[in-house]
Structure 1
Amino acid sequence: MIELDAAADAAIHILYIDDDEALGVLTRKNMQRRGYELHLAKDGAAGLARLAEGGIDAIVLDHFLEGETGLDLLPCIVSGADHPPVIYATGSGDAGVAVAALKAGADDYVMKGVSSDYFDLLAAALAQGLERARFRRDTLRAQAVIRHERDRAELLLSEVNHRIANSLGLVAALIRMQASVTKDQVTIDALQETQIRINAIASVHRRLYTSHEVGTVRVKEYLESLLAELEASMRDEQRPHSVKVECDDVILSTDKVITLGLIISELVTNAYKYAYPAGQTGEIRVVVDQTGQGGLRVHVEDDGVGFDRTAPAKGTGLGTKILTAMASSLKSSILYAPDRQGTRAMLNFSID
């Protein structure tokens, strides 16, 4: 079947490097009947020169050459990215020669001879070597196509994230403009909180289109940027507080990062509004660390007046509903540490 396959196609060009010219001629005649066209080279220099001309599908390389061995030539032959398969032909009974040839890049080896067995083995080795080379080329082409499509998809996704971030930024700007012309303080506060929530989502998409990561975000960089923006928007003479972030180097999926950003933004906003008396300076700390069991632990805390959970909710109560819903989507809930100065909100959830 191997011979029929070879003969059915156009001639397959084999470079035969051997200083035994008589055996080369005999091999050429025999292999021509099997569909192989041999190009004879009596030494390494002639073989490399013919290889450089191109059009060679496979190489048969003799071990013993005049003044050198096939092992000396192998590195030059296999240095190319898409070099032809090499069948190492040796009359030596030393198995170490065959092993050395295979380690140096030969695809296969055969024991030289003048019997029909030698030509049968050589034809089989060539067919297998050519098939492996064909498979390698097909694999490389497929990988190139996959890389191209992946790069294209990443580019498109980056553009989508860019547009989403810009659109959300425009929405936040419109809300900010609306707040600036509104007289009612309750409405102003509600619009400001909405703007903060939108910024928490937009910040994730900005991270996605400016990084090489697809579908994941580095939490530390995201939170530092997000909370710096939040502090800049919330801090004033009545609330001169600072936000401190301590975060392990953790990577989360986009969905979980957005949820985490909304939760932390909500808790920090509450701390800005209610933790300290007006005009008093205070610190708000955000701590995110790994638990060592595939989980993430989040603390948002302050040293303010504390939080009475039995008291009626301040404001509209929408923030509490958002916190409950977001924590539930992480299959968790927000707990509050009892018996401490100030407030500490705690959340634990799985990274995966």
Structure 2
Amino acid sequence: MLTTILDQDRLRDKVSLTLRVSYFSSIFSFVFGLLCIFLLDIMEVVPYIFIGFGVLNLLNTLAYKYHKNLTLTYNVISISGLISSIIITLFTGGINSSFIFVLAVVVFAGYTSTRNYGKIYLYISILLIILIYVQGISEYSLTQNVVPADSQNLFSFLSILFSVYLLGGVLGKNLLRAHHNLYKTKHELEQQIKEKETLLKEVHHRVKNNLQTVSSLLSLQARSISDERMRTLIKSSQNRVISMAMVHEMLYMREDISKIEYSSYVQELGEYLVKSVKGATDNVSLRIDIPDIQLGIDTAIPLGLLINETITNALKYGIKDEEEGEIHITLRKVAHEEYVLMIGDNGVGYPENINMKNSKSLGLKLIHNLARQLKGSISRDTSKKGTNYILKFREVGENVQSVI
């Protein structure tokens, strides 16, 4: 978002800078052309090039209001300026003409547009200066100096003033203003983003607190129920709420509130579930192999719920009673926004003919529905002992719709 707004401001400043330079260049060209005729007594070529460039430049600037193509407008200004400068330089002393410094203005203007244009006009200007020099030392010069001898010093003086004012007074001043505006906009946007991040952290904090309140209410409800089956169902719902609360807790505790470190989340969730289902027994070990992978909230929550269901099923049905067992969770990034999760246990497992369609287990149905929500596919790995799944999924974007 910040990059997009800054790009828009940069484009707006670039348009403003290009149009200002164009208007000033047209005015100065008209004035210089008139000075050549009425003050410097230059009647050949030079004043007409100045006036012609001024007219063309003004028309080009006005045309921008209709076609809105800044690149076209800029290149017409630069190319016509380059050609006009070369012709004036050739007819006012060649390599000894003070007007040759205007070529530096064209190059500088190129760099204010883009780095590539600046390089192009730099190399072209260097080549043209070499050609002007070669033409000047040649015995067969194609041009002659049309500036009268008594006007040459004044022409040099005005040429240098023209170059310096365009370079510093017009280009430099407007470039500095554009830079200041861009810096000011960037600073204001950064402040707004910090404020929004603070508010978003507060939202995550409140969501976490609300989910913990729901979890506490479920826990109180479970204590007042004597039916063991109902208590188990409520406990399962409580664990699902806790798995979501953990995501929000980790988000508001991080500097980057868009993603969470998934390894620490899975470790914390796994340890909580083992204590919740098995109590204080230390017979179940967790083997978690997750590298430095960060996931957004739209992926982290459904994946966390899927892991919650898988571990819960393993603890309740796979690794029974006080038996020793192991739960393994491996997560790998295989391509851009594509992941593979291998999760399972070494317990007793369940028959291969049981699947989501014929099973009455809510946990099994949730596992398959959550896999769909993650835009992935899940399959059983029957080559290992116990119940093991291989989930292939993608990073989920915003505004994903739940399929649970």
Deviation for aligned residue 1:273: 0.3
Q: Does 1:285 align with 2:328?
A: yes
Q: 2:373 aligns with which of 298, 306, 329?
A: 329
Q: CA deviation at 1:231?
A: 2.0
Aligned ranges 1:4-43 → 2 under 5 Å: none
Write the letter of the residue equivalent to 1:346. Answer: I
Q: Give identity over the alignment, percent.
A: 25
The SS at the match of 1:334 is: strand
Indicate how the Cα distance of structure 1 residues 344 and 117 shifts in structure 2: closer, same or farther if over 3 A, else same: same
- Contact in 2 for aligned 1:238/1:280 (Cα 8 Å): no
Match of 1:221 among 261, 264, 275: 264
> What is the CA distance between 1:238 and its match in structure 2?
7.8
Give the alignment's TM-score, normalised by structure 2: 0.57
Aligned to 1:183: 226
Question: Which runs of 5 or more structure 1 residues have no equivalent in the other structure?
Answer: 7-91, 103-111
* Corresponding residue of 1:2: 24
The structure where strand makes up a greater share of residues is 1
Query: Where do 5+ consecutive residues of structure 2 fail to align?
Result: 1-22, 29-97, 109-152, 397-404
- For residues 174 and 309 of structure 1, do their structure 2 counterparts lie closer, same or farther at Cα, with a shift above 3 Å needed? farther
Partner letter of residue 362 of structure 2?
L
Q: Which amino acid aligns with 1:2?
A: F
3-state DSSP class of the match of 2:377?
Answer: coil
Cα displacement string for residues 167-221 of structure 1 (whole angstroms, at most 9, x for unaligned residues): 0011001111111222111111101110111111111111111111132222112
In the alignment, what sits opposite 2:37?
Answer: none
Instruction: Please tell me the residue identity of whatever aligns with 1:332.
Output: G
Shift of 1:251: 1.5
1:66-85 alignment to 2 at 5 Å?
none
| Aligned equivalent of 1:317 | 361
In the alignment, is residue 308 of structure 1 matched against residue 330 of structure 2?
no
Amino acid of the structure 1 residue aligned with 2:24: I
Q: How many residues align?
A: 255
Residue in structure 2 matched with residue 140 of structure 1 by the alignment: 183
Counterpart in 2 of 1:119? 161
User: 2:325, 2:347 within 8 Å by CA — same for their partners in 1?
Assistant: yes
Determine which of 238, 254, 258 is the counterpart of 1:195. Answer: 238
Partners of 2:390 and 2:221 lie apart in 1 by 34
Q: Deviations over 1:276-323 (max 9, x none)?
A: 232212111111122256421111121111221435989962212211
Q: Are the aligned partners of 2:325 and 2:345 in contact in 1 as well (CA < 8 Å)?
A: yes
C-alpha distance 166-119 of structure 1, shift in aligned 2 (>3 A): same
CA distance in 1 between partners of 2:337 and 2:200 (Å): 28
What residue number does 2:192 align with? 149
| CA distance in structure 1 between the partners assigned to 2:276 and 2:320 by the alignment | 19
Specify the alignment match of 1:105 in structure 2.
Answer: none
Q: Distance in 2 between matches of 1:177 and 1:207?
A: 25
Aligned counterparts of 2:336 and 2:170: Cα–Cα separation in 1 = 53
Structure 1 residues 169 and 121, CA gap change in structure 2 (3 angstroms)? same
Q: Distance in 1 between matches of 2:262 and 2:287?
A: 15
Alignment RMSD, CA only? 3.2
CA distance in 2, matches of 1:181, 1:5: 89
Contact 1:296–1:348 (8 Å) recurs in 2? yes
Relative to the length of structure 1, the TM-score reads: 0.65
1:269 aligned to which of 294, 298, 312? 312
Larger proportion of helix: 2
Q: Distance in 2 between matches of 1:216 and 1:3?
A: 51
